Amino acid sequence: MEIFLKDVQDGLNASPKYLQSKYFYDKKGDELFQQIMHSEDYYLTRCELEIFQQQSGKLAEFFKSKLGDFDVWELGAGDATKSSYLLKALKDQDVDFIYYPVDISANIIEWLQQNLPGKLPGLKLHGMQGEYLAMLNQSKTQSAKPKLVLFLGSNVGNIPLGETGAFLSSIRNCLNVHDILMIGMDLKKNPHIIRRAYNDRDGITSHFNLNLLERINRELGGDFCLDKFHHYPSYDPISGTCKSFLVSLEKQQVSIGAEKFDFEKNECIQTEVSQKYSVSQTSSLAKLSGFEPIGHFFDSRNYFLEAVWECV
């Protein structure tokens, strides 16, 4: 709670104001994000799911040929809807592995531990609740086996472009030579399609963003009036950067505990960055951060890429 409060205070005292997107995911936020993933306008989940539904056998064979027996670490596991197809394919090919789902949400880890072994009988699962790098840094003490690390859902796109290389290098530093990272990356496409995904017609993404203010009210004693803020997404098709904001609809003051924060009319709080890539950009990122691209797996529309990188 102290870290959450400090991060919120730091973000709202900054210029321009921001809130970290990792705090979207309380219990209600988890539920709203599940709704977003099933929204007609949010193509990302369907495209990535198609890859796992149709190509998991090929992926499992590929990874087995490269690594033999290995452990699977998934950063930001969510409900493992996509990765469960790969986990089943690995079991079908008799790979001896332990699945280590990593998630910031204790609710998600608890749900996975209670539900996933029932869906995949015999699955060995060890949940890791916490920050991605802190948990992955423990991987060497958990097992000496080679590792396949899954970083799906275009989660890498939530990192500002200027910081992505350093973050991926940090992942590389937690791994050994020949370990593999499979990373889901949303590709550049018609900008109208992208912008609609972050401003769906049912208003779920708006509710999801505003829930962050509601969480601050509930957990930190804030007094945000949600009706005085409006969700706004932007997308720059040249840079490939999609951003989400909460816009103050009037001049106002908000209290969080004893601290007060002033907002001008139309002042924005940035809540999320969602970066989109070209295929050549993904390969450049791999090489800059200590990996070698060894595979590309696309959905049928080439909207989404599962890039497979080997540690070098």
Gap between the Cα atoms of 274 and 226, Å rounded = 23
Contact 274, 243 (CB under 8 A): yes
The confidence score (pLDDT) of residue 305 equals: 98
Segments of the chain assigned to CATH 3.40.50.150: 43-187+277-311
pLDDT tens per residue, range 193-215: 999 999 999 999 999 999 999 99
Which one, of 252, 253, 234, 232, lies nearest residue 242 by Cα? Answer: 234
How confident is the model at residue 182, as a pLDDT? 98
pLDDT above 90 coverage of the chain, percent: 88
Q: Are 187 and 279 in contact (CB under 8 A)?
A: yes
β-strand pairing of 252-256 with 180-186: unpaired
Chain centroid, CA 138 distance in Å: 20
Q: For position 146, what pLDDT does the model report? A: 96
Show the low-confidence residues of the chain (pLDDT under 70): none
Q: What token pair was written down for 242?
A: 């999609």
Distance CA(121)–CA(84), nearest Å, equals: 12
Q: What is the pLDDT of residue 296?
A: 98
What does the H/E/C string look like for 224-286?
A: CCHHHEEEEEEEECCCCEEEEEEEECCCEEEEECCEEEEECCCCEEEEEEEECECHHHHHHHH
Which overall architecture, per CATH, does domain 43-187+277-311 show? Answer: 3-Layer(aba) Sandwich (3.40)
Look-up of token digits 């001896």: 96
pLDDT digit string (tens) for 225-246? Answer: 999 999 999 999 999 999 999 9
pLDDT (0 to 100) of residue 141: 85
Q: What is the pLDDT of residue 257?
A: 87
Q: What are the start-end ranges of the H helices in the chain?
A: 2-13, 27-37, 43-67, 83-92, 106-119, 132-136, 139-142, 161-173, 191-197, 204-220, 279-288
Q: What is the pLDDT of residue 167?
A: 95
pTM: 0.88
Predicted local distance difference test score (pLDDT) of residue 41:
95
Angle 142-146-148 (CA atoms, 0-180°, nearest 5)?
95
